[in-house]
Amino acid sequence: MTSDSTSTDLSGLDWATQRGMGALAEKMGMEFLEFSTERCVATLPVEGNTQPVGLMHGGAYVVLGESLGSMAANLHAGPGRLAVGVDINATHTRSATSGVVTGVCTPVHLGRSITVHEIVVTDDQGRRCSTIRITNMIRELPA
């Protein structure tokens, strides 16, 4: 069994869709497009996720990044293990004002006990809006 499969041999996207991204991501309108240990992609609408002045909220970029990075780390961890975030940072370089933003998550390091992912968030024109890095610790699930 590869790290992309689960005990029921679901594809990464099927696994992520079944598991769900959680209540916050769902309320924000996040949608999966692609999901594997090598690359995860999701979108988030700008509308409903803005600051009072109409710019995409920086925290919304971070929610997108953390959701992708944590879910990717959990897919890598495999059955019987759990990945939990221990560090996240973000650099915002542009503000989206309409449409959707797209987060592309790729691994920097996939270890037995630590993962590091980089998430690049771009606007509809492909311009980078935020770069997020998340570190997750992998633990055994309690018996």
Three-state secondary structure call for residue 38: coil
- Side-chain-side CA neighbours of 17 within 13 Å: the count stands at 10
Per the DSSP assignment, residues forming a β-bridge with 136 are: 85, 115
Q: Which among 38, 66, 118, 140 is annotated as catalytic?
A: 66
Please report, to the nearest 10 degrees, the dihedral formed by the alpha carbons of residues 50, 96, 106, 31 taken in order.
60
Task: Give the chain's length.
Answer: 143
H-assigned helices in the chain: 12-19, 23-28, 58-77
Catalytic (active site) residue 66: yes
| Residues annotated as catalytic (active site), given as ranges | 66
